[in-house]
Amino acid sequence: MRVSEEEVRRVAELARLAFSEAELRQLAGEFNRILEAFAKLNEVDTTGVPPTAHVLKVKNRFRADQVRPSLPRAEALGNANAVKDGSFVAPLIME
């Protein structure tokens, strides 16, 4: 499997990343080298091996349903670029 520059452009779009044509070419090359490595893995016969859901052996880590104090609002908003009426201000993006 090989990816085209067009596919790299689409993935970049989904990740909201902007690249120049030269960068897209370079990335396509790098992606393809990575995919070649994965192609090697594909040679392994995995019949009967369940897909890995997690690399750790640990399962079932839960917390009890208990409320603890939240951040003070001023702190919650502390990293915001802009704040209004106790809310984060974001660019207007209508769905």
Partner 1 sequence: MKFEAVIGLEVHAELSTASKIFCACATKYGAEANTQTCPVCLGLPGTLPVLNEKAVEYCIRAGLALNCRIADFSKLDRKNYFYPDLPKAYQISQYDLPLCRDGFLTLASGKRIGITRIHIEEDAGKLMHSPEGEGFSLVDYNRAGVPLIEIVTAPDLATPEEAVEFLEKLRRILIYLGISDCKMEEGSLRCDANISLKPAGAETLGTKTELKNINSFKALGRALAYEIERQAELLAEGKTVKQETRKWEEAKQRTLSLRSKEDTQDYRYFPDPDLVPVELDQAYVAAIAASLPELPEAKKRRLIEEYKLPEYDADLLTGSRHLADFFEAVLKDYCNPKAASNFIMGELFRLMGEEGLAPEALALNPAHLADILRRIDQGELSVSQGKKVFEKAFRTGASPAEIIAAEGLRQISDEASLRTVVTQVLAAHPQSVNDYLNGKTKVAQFLTGQVMRETKGQANPQLIKELLEEELAKLRP
Binders in 54-93 for partner 1, by CB under 8 A: 54-56, 58-68, 70-71, 73, 76-77, 79, 82, 84-93
Q: Of the candidates 84, 65, 60, which has an alpha carbon nearest to the alpha carbon of residue 73?
A: 84
Sign of CA dihedral 4, 5, 8, 14: negative
Q: Compute the least distance from the CB of residue 94 to partner 1, in Å.
A: 6
Residue type, 48: G
Contact set with partner 1 (CB under 8 A) = 14, 16, 53-56, 58-68, 70-71, 73, 76-77, 79, 82, 84-95
